[in-house]
Structure 1
Amino acid sequence: MKILQKYIINNLSVLFLSVFLPLFSIASVIFLIKLATYTAVVQLSIWEMTKMYIFVLPDVFFFTLPFSFFIAATLTLFKLSNDNEIIVLFSLGIHPNFIIKTLLKPAALLAVLLFLNFFVLYPHAKTLSKNFIAYKKSQAKFNLSASEFGHKFGPWLLYIGKDNPDDTFEDVFLFKKNKQDNEEVLISAKKAKIINETSLLRLKLTNGEGYSYSKDKFSQINFDTMYINSSLTTDLVKYETPLEYWQSDFDIGRKYKTFITDTLMSLFPMMSLFLAASIGIVHVRHNKGKAYLYMFLGIIVFYESIQLLWVPLFFYAIPTIAIVWLIGTYMIYRKTIVAKF
């Protein structure tokens, strides 16, 4: 029996890698495209983009590992069916439950790893990612450059005529409209430089003029040096343990959804075994063209069930979906596999 178990696990391992690697690559590209949107706000080097990608790896794994295992388990049994090896096993008196028990061990191991991934690694990665972005925003390394388009500096619209290699700017114009006073302010300066002091951005203007005008008044000032503070500050998220992260009120709505969704996704490798056996163990002549369709329908139904039920059922969605899914797939397994073999 140990040789047979090893043979099934070896087939599962090969197919798992062949499924996981393409899914992981596709998910990585999607997340990298999403991360690229941050470059519209702050400058990121290749190394910093790599760090950001490492921070989202727990999410990438959660979008790929559970479904990869289900697909690999189904295809493993489907391959054994195509090779008539499953029929030989059943002819020798081996019960279908033996296959379920064989696949349960790697499924349980994967479930534990997924649970540790979202409960322990996810808080660290999410916090590091948020703090990193907040820190980069607080630095004077924004994508400010001379161009025909303007930039935002706090409430000010900023136009730069020329940027120098020493991180200074020339021919700078700032514009702001105060809606409460119905007043518009225009400032021009020959030179400017961004300064980061105690995580507060300051724009140092040199040799310039300022104009303030409304329907009732017009005023002008000349200055040698002027500082304009940005409202952007570093707001870091702090926590000491994963449990403290999940219990804190920070971003509580997203945490509820993540906890419910990821718990069910962690259990999916074990919960999907009956369905994988029902789809993968087939009479090739009669069901060869339906295995792939049922496999992807099963993934869609499970994932959409989570998305639809987590809001109305909240934490009760975890036991409800798990119990209903196990009972439903077990009934299918009893009817399609146990009753026939």
Structure 2
Amino acid sequence: MFIAAHPVDTGSGSGKLFAVPVFGHTPEGGYEYGAATFKNFFLPTNINARSSFVTAKGSWTSRHALNFIGYGEFWSNQNSFYWNIDVRHQEYPFYYYGIGNRTKLNNAILLENRLSHINIESAKELWKHYYMGLNLLLEKQVFSVKDTVRRNQSSIPPNERKGTYLNLGLVQMYDTRDNTQYTSNGIYAYLKLSFYPEFKRDNDFTGTQINFNFKAFKSPVDQLTLGYNVVYNAFGSKIAPFYMLPQLGNDQIMRGFYEGRFRDKKLMAHQLEVRYRFIERLAITGFVGNGATTPNKWRLQDFRTSYGGGLRYFFDVRQRSTIRFDYAMTQHLAGEKRQTGIYVTLGEAF
């Protein structure tokens, strides 16, 4: 990945398109090649509104895996309306460790996943900083076991090898952030109460889900920002397919843990991040996270810890758009090596 020779700084109107190549490697997917783009802009007739943006990533790997992600976030005049759209199509292998907070690394089974996903959300400001709206999620997943050695040991029930489901949610949001991309001051509280109706024969799952996300930021002095984030995700139904369960570990929270390393009906995690923007174009960060999954009750001994640091490059100084370079490692679990993760992506973890 390279840094643009001519950084983009948007003031008013539409900004230029920022593009970078994508290069990476994972044990299951092989070497990854592709491109990512990002564009800040303001919707027509916007007055005192936050900048909107769209971003997209497309890549393929040496082992014939595919990955496409498109995301857009839009703010209307005076920030009175907010909506976003998230579209994905992925044909990618991943390691499945089982369900629970005590799964072992040596129990990993390699699965092939084909995912098609669209998520649309819209909310209106009812009072100052308080929004209410609706969310719609439609997703289809199909799995196959790629691990020929452990094919007969797979713990995935046959009726969970594929599923198509619809999720309808009521969204509430309180947002005082000074900037949505790299926040220095303000809070963000998000609550979604959602329902999965019976949708198709290949997935008879019905149930409810709660998603909560809270972020708080404070700059005690110029250039220094303290950030705190807590997430909670829980299913209200007794049984949910493994591919729908909340997963601990990704590039946004509990960095360092492999995504899906632990999964269960309930997830709770929080993280603290310190950011120091020592010059206009660059910032450094340090972070620590703590979280767990559980089928019912929380136990202190089940919480895991990860920590790390990183570098931020501001390719759009005015809108505070960043490329993020993070390195994270996990606590040492008995009988296992520490897990580590390197993340190069557009935008902040939270």
Question: TM-score if structure 1 supplies the norm length?
Answer: 0.22
More strand by share: 2
Q: Which has the higher contact order (CA 8 A, sep 6+)?
A: 1
More helix by share: 1
Largest Rg, 1 or 2 = 1
Question: TM-score if structure 2 supplies the norm length?
Answer: 0.22
